[in-house]
Structure 1
């Protein structure tokens, strides 16, 4: 598994689409996904674990959604 740290957002960040992304890619509940997005908007960091084969697709989507993130090598 790879870890992505999401630590902020840029103008144009779309909370609804980010919530959908977290639900689709991580299988999170609506409540959990919304809570994670609220943390991002409040400039708190969250870390998500993703499969290595999904990392490129997810980082592309995060970039399109204007999320600030980094890939961690743990």
Structure 2
């Protein structure tokens, strides 16, 4: 019975230790986002997809707008 009591005290101490270490800093609770029932959730910003093309020299796929030279002399893309 003593082992069980000691084990539960250790577990409780570790639990409260983690809670103490991970508490919000500055003494103020973390701000909660205000939920407005009349508003719709906002969609994330739209990202534009971009096609990838294979380099005719080395075969590496690169984005068309940001293609840079692979370092070979006959690479068709501009050097960085």
TM-score norm. by structure 2 comes to 0.19
Higher helix proportion = 1
Structure number with greater Rg is: 2
Query: Which protein has greater RCO, CA pairs closer than 8 Å, 6+ apart?
Result: 1
TM-score norm. by structure 1 comes to 0.21
Higher strand proportion = 1
